Structure 1
Amino acid sequence: MHVVIMGCGRVGASLAAAVERLGNSVAVVDKDQHAFRRLSTDFHGQQVVGGGFDRRVLVKAGIERASAFAAVSSGDNSNIISARVARETFGVEHVVARIYDAKRAEVYERLGIPTVATVPWTTDRLMRTLLPDGVASAWRDPTGKVAIVALPVHEGWVGHTLAELEQATGARIAFVMRFGTGVLPAPKTVVQADDQVYVAALSGTISDVTAAAGQPPEEAS
């Protein structure tokens, strides 16, 4: 398939190389011709100079035959405008935009443009590296508002229902990994030893949820 990437910064150049390695054709668009120096020496795709929301530039990059479009420049406005042009004008099926402002990302998601909120995603990656035994989200929605977290649970919860744990933490239990198998919880499902509990929680509440689950039931309630 053909992929058009708007923005040839470090992310754009790395993405272009990865997509091409999978056997796809790639066109990279950037208004700064010197930006293409970031591309690897064995890159064989198109290098198109111009704005990512200029229709003539996009046509030159092959947008009319593209199956995917990624807007990964350093500007939120440029990324979202380019993504909307690709989706709404040229009907590209798979479109994604990198957005630094998580609040704005939420708005764009409602417009039907998948986004990657860079700051929340980067924070999670750093948490996994700095605190390998700590809490970091296993999944986060692109706006950064809701996360699914692997929750460390105090051993005192064994034998209590997941409904009790939900009430104590204020989070919604999404699923449980038990003996390597995913289990969808029912109201009367009981916590067993070695269960790995995953909860859905709002960003900003994860530390409180973790603290509550880390206490035995008597103290958590």
Structure 2
Amino acid sequence: MGCGRVGASLAGQLEGHGHSVAVVDQNPDAFRRLPSTFEGRRVTGLGFDRDALAQAGIEDAYAFVAVSNGDNSNIIAARVVRETFGVSNVVARIYDPNRAEVYQRLGIPTVATVRWTADQVLRRILPLGAVSEYQDASSKVSIVTCDVHPAWVGQELDRLEHLTGTRVAFLTRLGQGVVPHPGMVVQENDLVHLAVETDRIGAVQRVLAASPAKED
């Protein structure tokens, strides 16, 4: 929902990953922002209107993203999609980051537009593996964002570091960067940013993609 710059970019990137995509916007002129190669559906209407959502194929959707220019519209659409159509994988963009925690408690991941881009939204709805954010001059050390298996929620960061042989550089929690402190645990929807030897990224991601090993 929403075919502004972020919505059009997301649609193009998702289709580039091989997914079928439908875009809903109440302004038909907005579809001009889509890539010229875009082959998905274009539905003119409100993203929280059930008929418009049905035209977009919401009954078969794996994920839904609301990135219109209105916080209320995005949240309403996300809730309709989740509660009426049973799509659990939803993300809503908001302009007011102070409201993020409220919506998280409703079970709707949110991204604050001033801090996030289309890439971060994609990470919320697709398992992309490890994404490199920084490498030192020698390319031997990287800071990467890794997908974490749900079973890691509640685990201490110290244990994550021990089992992966990495250092947690920082977390992104509720759209905010957080410096780790002793005893901190992984929470649902956290993005974990790790400092890791570049040639070990694949091995680290395999560890984090599975449930953590049980204590001896």
Structure 2 unmatched runs, 5+: 121-132, 135-168, 186-193, 201-216
Q: TM-score, normalised by structure 2?
A: 0.59
1:179 positional shift? 8.1
State the match for 1:141 in structure 2: 173
Q: Distance in 2 between matches of 1:15 and 1:29?
A: 13
Q: Distance in 2 between matches of 1:109 and 1:178?
A: 27
Q: 1:12 to 1:178 in 2, by over 3 A?
A: closer
State the match for 1:84 in structure 2: 79
CA contact (8 A) 1:103 1:143 kept: no
Tell me the amino acid that sits aligned with residue 113 of structure 1: I
State the match for 1:13 in structure 2: 8
Q: Which runs of 4+ in 1 moved over 2 A?
A: 118-122, 147-150, 171-175, 177-181
**1:74-116 Cα distance to aligned partner (Å, 9 max, x none):** 1101100000011000001210001111121110000001111
CA contact (8 A) 2:116 2:175 kept: no
SS of residue in 2 equivalent to 1:98? strand
Q: TM-score, normalised by structure 1?
A: 0.58
Match of 1:99 among 71, 78, 94: 94
Please identify the structure whose Cα radius of gyration is greater: 1
Q: 1:120 to 1:21 in 2, by over 3 A?
A: closer
1:28 positional shift? 0.1
CA contact (8 A) 2:24 2:44 kept: yes
Q: Distance in 1 between matches of 2:97 and 2:183?
A: 24
State the match for 2:35 in structure 1: 40
How large is the Cα RMSD of the aligned pairs? 2.9
**1:27-53 Cα distance to aligned partner (Å, 9 max, x none):** 000000000000011000000000000
Q: Distance in 1 between matches of 2:19 and 2:26?
A: 23
SS of residue in 2 equivalent to 1:28? strand
Q: 1:178 to 1:94 in 2, by over 3 A?
A: closer
Structure 2 counterparts to residues 69-80 of structure 1, below 5 A? 69-80=64-75
SS of residue in 2 equivalent to 1:25? coil
SS of residue in 1 equivalent to 2:21? strand
1:173 positional shift? 6.6
Aligned-residue identity in percent: 59
SS of residue in 2 equivalent to 1:112? coil
CA contact (8 A) 1:30 1:50 kept: yes
